[in-house]
Amino acid sequence: MAEAKRILIIEDEADMANIMRDFLTVSGYEVRVAGRGADGLELLRSWSPKLLVLDLTLPDIDGIELCRRIRAESVVPILILSARGGETDKILGLGFGADDYMTKPFSLGELTARIGAHLRRSEMQAPSSAADDGRETGMLSFGELEIDRRAYRVSLGVREVQLSAKEFELLHFLALHAGQVFTKSRLLDAVWGIDSPGDEGTITVYIRRIREKIETDPSRPLYLKTVWGVGYKFDGGRERAV
């Protein structure tokens, strides 16, 4: 089966994991299941799935911590599942690099729809599929900040900045339209897609995470500016596209 269809489920409830595996298999995906976080990390490295479904409650590693570890070494989309429906867990999960969050119980149809949406978005945003128009595939430079669309790499002076795939896409979109103000809804559509199941709070979380990584003082940002009552804009001074 095509590598692009690989889904890794990290879930310690065997019945739940098997139901998801069987449903996704019938839907055309190649699925593997890990019941422990350590096993999930091993499969991530050896099998190279295209999306992870991650439960927050695991017997060996806290799901939020596992999400952080995964994001430190991979840009694979992460969809969190949790019986913990509190806003704090959702913010933490998204803040540590997850791309989506679903609360148990959930519909298998909705799970499949979200997985499909994230995979389509990943394929559309892959460097090899970018339009070769000089800006979309080139380097954007704003003083010390450089954004390389072809390599999915961001650097600040001599330091490489580690961003998740969605963090990169959000930063790149705003930088590509420097000076233009976007609402949260518009950013959600542009980066996650119009069929995204996410909400506007996702944008707030991601903007904060990006600021923590590229701004000297995140409370007084140089690049990602808040336009109160409207949304956000990128303001990095004069830029050049190579």
Whether 121 and 183 share a structural domain: no
Least confident of 94-103, 146-155, 224-233: 94-103
Element (DSSP H or E) covering residue 207: helix 201-214
Whether 13 and 111 share a structural domain: yes
Whether 190 and 155 share a structural domain: yes
Kindly state the percentage of the chain with pLDDT values over 90: 45
Whether 115 and 7 share a structural domain: yes
pTM exceeding 0.85: no
CATH of the domain at 79: 3.40.50.2300
Residue ending a domain, choose from 125, 160, 189: 125
Q: Of 43, 48, 67, 71, nearest to 56 (Cα)?
A: 67
Contact yes or no for 53/10 (Cβ under 8 A): yes
Q: Is the peptide bond before 49 cis (omega within 30 degrees of 0)?
A: no
pLDDT confidence of residue 194: 53
Whether 138 and 169 share a structural domain: yes
Residue ending a domain, choose from 64, 95, 125: 125
Instruction: Quote the domain boundaries for residue 32.
Output: 3-125
Whether 61 and 173 share a structural domain: no
Question: Rounded mean pLDDT of 203-209?
Answer: 93
Taking 60 as the threshold, does the pLDDT of residue 132 lie above it? no
pLDDT digits (tens, 9 = 90+) for 133-177: 334 446 889 989 999 887 778 999 999 999 988 899 899 989 988
238, burial (CB in 10 Å: exposed 0-12, middle 13-18, buried 19+): exposed
